Amino acid sequence: MNRGYFITFEGLDGSGKTTQLRHLAASLSADGYRVVTLRQPGGTPLGDRIRSVLLDSRSEDDLGGIAPEAEMALMFADRAQSLRQVILPALAEGAIVLCDRYTDSSEAYQGAGRDLGPERILAMHRTVCNGVQPDLTLLLLPPLHSSLHRARRRNDRHAHQHGTDENRFEREGDLFYTRVYEQYAEIARREKQRVVVIADEAPIATIATCILEVVRARLPETDVLAQRRDRPQTL
């Protein structure tokens, strides 16, 4: 069976994971791999609609708020759709899938941030996602205070340019983010094989090099090498 390689990027808002995902996608494409990128929530037509409900800070007024359980269920509705429409088909074709956030985000944000508890999230993951787990998760976890600072600055910039702050989550207080941060650290302790933590505050290029080394070291363990477009024909 052709099976690609599934990599997720995780971290707090402002941790720099989206930038790193783009760097890794460019490097792996240059290496000749077929790379599919997406983000959660979003990444499918249904997911984009769910995303706008979940992230728009106006949802607080327009919808009278979103119950934590509804938020969790919407995150998983989005995930189910992207698994079926994007992730599983791409993996079946042998692609490397790079996904900006996945179930660890739900465990950290809804499970810990919203206090629903990690067990409910993991149960939902088993039911809705059939337990599909990434082969590798790159968790960008620089010190909490610097992530918060960057997220707030980014949100202020967005509000200044567009008149709205897109992200309901970035309005949350420090206690919320401390819970999110600690749950990420807990996931990393629990799943040492899958989760690689990048805790340094090094320059973007240095972290990108480090991530590429981790990924290149892991890829040969899999069939994905056989999927390289430029692989020379052997007789």
Cβ proximity to ligand TYD: between 14 and 94 the closer is 14
Name residue 158's amino acid.
H
Judged by CB under 6 A, the stretch of 106-114, 141-149, 185-193, 199-207 that binds ligand TYD is: 106-114
Cβ proximity to ligand TYD: between 18 and 52 the closer is 18
Question: Can you tell me the distance from the alpha carbon of 22 to that of 161, in angstroms, rounded to the nearest whole number?
Answer: 23
Q: Provide CB contacts within 8 A for 106, sequence distance 6+.
A: 72, 75, 76, 79, 121, 124, 125
- According to CB under 6 A, which one of 5, 6, 33, 109 is a site residue for ligand TYD? 109
Is residue 61 exposed (0-12), middle (13-18) or buried (19+ Cβ within 10 Å)?
exposed
Phi, psi of 195 (to 5 degrees): -100, 125
Cβ proximity to ligand TYD: between 33 and 181 the closer is 181
Cβ proximity to ligand TYD: between 13 and 135 the closer is 13
The contact pattern for ligand TYD, residues 4-33, with x = CB under 6 A and - = no contact, is ---------x----x---------------
CB of residue 50 vs ligand TYD: minimum separation in angstroms?
10
CB of residue 79 vs ligand TYD: minimum separation in angstroms?
7
Cβ proximity to ligand TYD: between 9 and 33 the closer is 9
- Counting every residue, how long is the chain? 235
**Which residues between 32 and 91 bind ligand TYD (CB under 6 A)?**
39-41, 55, 75
**Which residues between 162 and 191 bind ligand TYD (CB under 6 A)?**
167, 169
Phi, psi of 96 (to 5 degrees): -95, 120
- Give 164's DSSP letter: S
Q: At what angle do helices 68-82 and 45-55 cross, to 10 degrees?
A: 160
Asked if 116 contacts 72 with a C-beta cutoff of 8 angstroms, the reply is yes
- Give 102's DSSP letter: -
CB of residue 54 vs ligand TYD: minimum separation in angstroms?
7
Footprint on this chain of ligand TYD (rule: CB under 6 A): 13, 18, 39-41, 55, 75, 100-101, 105-106, 109-110, 167, 169
